[in-house]
Structure 1
Amino acid sequence: MTIFRYLALITLVVVLAACSSAPKQDDGERRKAAETNTSLGREYMDRGQNEIALEKLKRAVGFDKTYAPAHTMLGVLYESIGQTKDAEHEFRLAVQYDPKDGDVNNNLGAFLCRHGKEAEADPHFVTAIEDPFYSTPGIAMANAGSCALNRGELDKAETYLRQSLKYDQRMPAALLPMADLSYRRADYLRARAFLQRYEAVAPASEESLSLGFRIETALGDEESARRYRDQLRKIDPTG
């Protein structure tokens, strides 16, 4: 073996050794780049600059396709612009890459519930609630309660919603469904009380005003019912 071939082999060994150790550094750098681009994508979404947000989020998954928050944000963005198939694909990828994470499971569950797949949504809410590192289990409980309410499972819905309110008594996402649930049970005074609690912490919406009108009509309070109806007409003059 000539000295040059010997040196070449040594050089090759050194290069291969460097290549074998480089991915660990590259993985960390790629994850950091994915995190940065996901954060930027979220900021651009908040500003309504969806095209730039989409570019940043796609870049994030390009750096690290296993970074679940990037897929979740892509799901949120796609759903906001009506691309529900793409949104579902991204939400599912997020859970695939981080199956025990509370945030990604809650987001997939909420998406499924919004799109008529309530039964499939519930296990994801359960996973979110059981994640000890998930900082907002009360939100997942509220979402699970609303989803059960949509299925007509009133007892299950009440259990979830009351658990949510133990975390935060002022949570709008639990108070409004509790008002609706109470109305469905013909417990109109309790429905009114929950709706008033909701109105104290959240702006009026078409859903809350419509529920208020129905509650006050059921209670025979014509003046209050008329106020809700008038507010509804400001939102939708044709309604």
Structure 2
Amino acid sequence: MIRSVVLLSACLLSLGSLPVAAQVVVPESTHTNQVATDARTRARLHTELGAMYLQDGNMAVALEETGVAIEADPGYASAYSVRALVYTALREFTSAEADFKKALGLAPGDPDVNNNYGWYLCQRDRAKESVTYFLAAVKNPLYSTPERAYVNAGTCALKAGDLEGAREYLTHALRLAKDGGPQAQLQLAKLAYTQGNMTEARNRLLEMMRLGGQPPAEALWLGVRIERKLGNKAEESSMTAQLRRLYVASPEYQELLKGNYE
């Protein structure tokens, strides 16, 4: 997904005409550069707002804000990338694909654009193809969160059936993580479960839960299946109860009700 955005405590200023006596004549090239800088600043601010509204689930305003950003600066790749994520959430995949392609055309080496497009491809059942974009993201030495792209690469490699690649990427993410790597631990637990190593799967999952925070539905559902495989009835019941209490409307709980443990 999207990198964290910070709401800037700034406003867009509309510069009116100065009194004649106060006007300063500047070279045309300097004026042009200033206009371009102002346009990029407006585009960045509106893109950040769009990303925040996307995270809050307000798709209409997110779409409006990213549209304003693109109108302000049609060359700002991040605006297209975030708008593509909005279109993805709205299931308007043709528009999402077009915006991602535009963003990549403008900034082929941008790590966030590559990471976002990779995640889009993975969600669209193009997991094998997606890994290329995650690896392109981590190649950028200025990328501040390469561990996220490695987790995404590992998650999608696992989805594509590349178990060896998944372990490599997730292990790399774990080495880079400063918070203990809960997401990497969860995906490594899923990998171990897939390979039939229930002891490792259980240890990885318990470490993920130890790192704090409420475990997501996929973690609890994985825990139910691990404990079931190990024959730990009490632990299986505990995980089931948590899944029911916290995520009764989740797809994972529906799988539990259907008895689809595999």
Report the TM range for the smaller structure's normalisation.
0.7 to 0.9
For residues 17-39 of structure 1, the C-alpha deviation after alignment (integer angstroms, 9 at most, x for no partner) is 95x77543332222122112212
In structure 2, what is the Cα distance between the partners aligned to 1:131 and 1:159? 19
Q: Does 1:185 align with 2:195?
A: yes
Q: Does 1:113 align with 2:130?
A: no
Residue 126 of structure 1, CA deviation:
1.2
Residue of structure 1 aligned with 2:236, choices 221, 225, 232: 225
For residues 177-232 of structure 1, the C-alpha deviation after alignment (integer angstroms, 9 at most, x for no partner) is 10011111111111001101111234222211111111111111111111122223
- Mean alpha-carbon deviation: is it higher for 228-237 or for 176-185? 228-237
Residue 48 of structure 1, CA deviation:
4.0
Q: Does 1:78 align with 2:87?
A: yes
Name the structure 1 match of 2:8: none
Name the structure 1 match of 2:138: 129
Name the structure 2 match of 1:65: 74
Shift of the 210–96 alpha-carbon distance from structure 1 to 2, 3 Å rule, reads same
For residues 38-61 of structure 1, the C-alpha deviation after alignment (integer angstroms, 9 at most, x for no partner) is 123233334444322221210111
Name the structure 1 match of 2:36: 27
Name the structure 2 match of 1:147: 156
**1:172 and 1:202 in contact (8 A); partners too:** no
Q: Which runs of 5+ in 1 are unaligned?
A: 1-16
- Mean alpha-carbon deviation: is it higher for 149-158 or for 192-201? 192-201
Aligned length: 222
- Give the percent of matched residue pairs that are identical in Structure 1 and Structure 2: 33
Shift of the 79–223 alpha-carbon distance from structure 1 to 2, 3 Å rule, reads same
Residue 167 of structure 1, CA deviation:
0.8
- Larger Rg, first or second structure (1 or 2): 1
Residue 82 of structure 1, CA deviation:
2.6
Residue of structure 1 aligned with 2:180, choices 162, 170, 174: 170
Residue of structure 1 aligned with 2:64, choices 55, 59, 79: 55
Q: Which has the higher helix share?
A: 1
TM-score under structure 2 normalisation? 0.78
Q: Does 1:215 align with 2:226?
A: yes
Superposed CA RMSD in Å reads 2.0
For residues 47-78 of structure 1, the C-alpha deviation after alignment (integer angstroms, 9 at most, x for no partner) is 44432222121011111122111112112222
Name the structure 1 match of 2:6: none
Residue 174 of structure 1, CA deviation:
1.0
Q: Does 1:92 align with 2:101?
A: yes
Q: Which runs of 5+ in 2 are unaligned?
A: 1-26, 258-262
SS of 2:43's equivalent in the other structure is helix
- Mean alpha-carbon deviation: is it higher for 77-86 or for 150-159? 77-86
